[in-house]
Amino acid sequence: MPDPDLLRMLRACDRILVFTGAGISTGSGIPDFRGPNGVWKKRQPVYYRDFMSSPEARLEYWDQKLEGFEAFANARPNATHEAVAALERAGKLLCCVTQNIDGLHGKAGTSRGKLIEVHGTMAEIECQGCKRRGEPAPAFAAFAKTRTPPTCEACGGWLKPATISFGQSLRQADLEAAFGFAERCDLVVALGSTLSVHPAASIPLAAAERGAGYVVVNRGPTDHDRLPCVTLRLEGDVAEIFAPAVKGLE
């Protein structure tokens, strides 16, 4: 059965901003970077400046990315991703802003015009010189074979997945668009995020502080749990909580 308060809020609102974090994708086999068994408990992140300046750092970066590439390539959307897409089909989704780099919202059917991937995506490779993008599989296959970080065929620049690395600035256009949606929504629902990584976590907070209803759904504590602007806090598995509520709209 859907949570009655969540269902009531979804029914009452027509401009819903959904904000998603790593907790919605663990059920699809995507590793959680910051959880108790997360990637960063085993590996140290490579900072962008080091990637650009150090051959050793580039090798470590590509080694880390290769280790997780198969999981990203084979992952399929789960009930939460599908529920966000269903919310769009119901005419209620203003925008989905995701911290995730797995591309699963797009695979589930969320429209490109209603999706902002603030931390980038593993679904594309980007040249750090000319900014040309392409399919990731050939670059990963070349690195796996040669153990040499790949370069752009067009300009010779360093290639990396089109994600935002540590120390790399978020794309200003994405941030401006996300905060613009936060100004227009009548409800914001945060799903599977600890709400601890900024500036991304400031996006749902901006909506709540201007008066939009604020629902936080997560397994485990978040940095926003005790804020007075949180209208409803639900603890538990995101798919088991959010998907039935969206289905209840039918």
Catalytic residue among 81, 105, 119, 224: 119
**Cβ-Cβ contacts under 8 Å for 158 (sequence gap 6 or more):** 51, 52, 58, 127, 128, 129, 149, 151, 152
Q: Cβ(162)–Cβ(133) under 8 Å?
A: yes
Closest CA to 25 of 88, 83, 102: 102
CB 9 within 8 A of CB 214: no
Whether 14 and 186 have beta carbons less than 8 Å apart is answered as yes
Nearest to 192 by CA among 23, 48, 43: 23
Is 105 catalytic? The answer is no
Residue 228 DSSP symbol: T
Long-range contacts of 33-42 (CB under 8 A, 24+ apart): 34/194, 34/196, 39/64, 39/68
The DSSP bridge partners found for residue 92 are none
Contact 46, 40 (CB under 8 A): no
Q: Which residues of 98-136 are buried (b: 16+ CB within 10 A; e: fewer)?
A: bbbbbbbbbbbebeeebbbbbbbbbbebbbbeeeeebeb
**Helix or strand run (H / E) with residue 163:** strand 159-163
What are the two backbone dihedrals, phi and then psi, of residue 192, each rounded to the nearest 5 degrees? 65, 30
Which residues carry out catalysis? 119
